[in-house]
Copies of this chain bind each other. A is one copy, B any other.
Amino acid sequence: MNNMLPAELATELSVLLGAEGWRTDDGALEANAQDNSWRHQRPAAVALPTSREQVQALVRACRRHRIALVARGAGTGTTGAAVPLEGSIVLSFARMDRILSIRPGDRCAVVEPGVLNGDLQHALSAHGLFWAPDPSSADICSIGGNLACNAGGPRAVKYGTSRDNVLGLVAVTGSGDIIQCGGAYTKDATGYDLTHLLVGSEGTLALIVEATLKLAALPVAQAGLRVLYRDADAAAQAVSRVMGQPVVPTRLEFMDARSLQLLRLNGADVADAGAMLLIEADGDHDTLPYLLQALATAAEGDGMLALDVAMEGAAREKLWAARKALSPALRSVAPGKINEDVVVPVSRIPELVAGVQALAREHDLTIVTFGHAGNGNLHVNILYHPDDADENARAHAALPKIFALTLALEGTLSGEHGIGLAKRDFMAQAFTPETLAAMRAIKAALDPDGILNPGKVLPTAACPRPAAAVTAGSTIDGNHRARP
């Protein structure tokens, strides 16, 4: 595939990066061909720089040749943001994986983008600290990928998402410039906020080569509540009550009736109910009982059926086991899953859940809804058999209606997965043409030749001056692989 690149460029980059850093062998191309969206496209080459200077040289060389550069962390994203374009170069941060410093006194850490979230958490725990983002892939996803996609997780309701927990960045723009913004401080009114702009931009504006992360202190103790409700409406009312009082839960997870049925079918110890909330608090041994009491009081109300308190240890593990069992249980229904992560205002959760079930009936599909209710961020899982052409078509016909429903409820497309390719074509429904034009103008400002991950995030017209590799006609959009 290397012959898809200009020979001069390939030579320059192989000299720049050396044999370990410039890979065109089948193994490397295949290993970097897809993410967890199961879209598949081999790149022309894989670059594995070890320094910001190498990243800068790489960007400048690609810019000269108008070759697209697709940044990649650990490839755990679900939207295709890290899937190569035909003829593009994947820039893997796998070799920029150093934790540069942990500064407990400043409650921050400075890392390279290739550090795995789990490895960082392990290193931080020795200092009694943690970094808030906890996506389910935490053990194997990279910090750079978390920042690129603004990853969240259940803990975000109290501690925020990736964007809320980054203090400063060093990045290489599409112009080939190294920019530096923010730092080891938590308050900043100095110039434009490039830091938060780059978070969630999925490698389309600049490539993050160093991040200063905001840390939090590990709580001494955690405990949870399991609360059953008559229906989704009663549970959603409780979510509003919980979020309206001063004690912020560490997690506030919702499961709809389908989720609970599915768990019971799979043998989990869950009572029959219309909906369930799992609510967690953290604190210390002195204060935790009071915090739990405040949360329990808020959780109580019309339509509540039962409330169990699970203090630390085995009881708490058991409580969360149901949540953890849910993803494998989905597979027992059907091998295909469209897992969206829409967001609505908390007060609109009942309408979302009811609307999704109406769509399930209309399209004769099983749709299971659960997720991070405290943020109004619900995972809507359409389950289907990919080999069943009719069901497959019904599933993909329901998807745009779920987005339309979400937007009609004042919500938005993604809370923590990002846009990538999967949701790119729905962006024109989520934003006005003027707002998209502003985003395109910013893309053009930081990546004037459109070489950074072109065709992602913004609808196709978004690529101001498409890179050569893009106009060559990528086919990745339709190039899905079956999941194993």
Contact = CB atoms under 8 A, between A and B. Distances in A.
A483 interface: no
B246 A191 contact: no
A375 B437 contact: no
Given A103-B347, A105-B244, A286-B290, A190 B430 contact: yes
A188 B343 CA distance: 7
A376 B220 CA distance: 26
B244 A107 contact: yes
Contact of A412 (B175, B185, B243, B414): B185
Contact of A193 (B108, B185, B197): B197
Nearest to A411: B185
A177 B161 CA distance: 30
A437 B177 CA distance: 9
A187 B416 contact: yes
Contact of A445 (B157, B415, B441): B441
A287 B442 CA distance: 47
B189 A346 contact: no
A30 interface: no
Contacts of A439: 191-192, 194
Interface residues of A, number: 98
A205 interface: yes
A294 B284 contact: yes
Interface in A231-254: 240, 243-246
A178 B431 CA distance: 11
A417 B189 contact: yes
Interface stretch (A3-11, A20-28, A148-156, A304-312): A148-156
B192 A200 contact: yes
Given A435-B179, A446-B441, A412 B193 contact: no
A103 B376 CA distance: 14
A196 B196 contact: yes
Given A185-B343, A290-B284, A445-B442, A419 B178 contact: no
A15 B290 CA distance: 61
A474 B108 CA distance: 43
B187 A161 contact: yes
B375 A152 contact: no
A291 interface: yes
Contact of A219 (B161, B200, B246, B441): B246
Contacts of A343: 185, 187-188, 190
Which 8 A-B pairs give the minimum distances between C-beta atoms? A441-B445, A177-B434, A196-B196, A105-B240, A187-B415, A105-B347, A184-B345, A187-B375
29 contacts: A103-B345, A104-B240, A105-B347, A152-B189, A157-B186, A161-B187, A179-B432, A179-B435, A179-B438, A185-B410, A185-B411, A185-B415, A186-B376, A187-B372, A187-B376, A189-B415, A189-B416, A189-B417, A189-B418, A190-B414, A190-B427, A192-B201, A192-B439, A194-B439, A216-B246, A246-B282, A284-B294, A287-B290, A438-B446
Given A183-B411, A191-B430, A246-B284, 6 more contacts: A151-B189, A186-B376, A188-B343, A190-B343, A217-B244, A444-B445
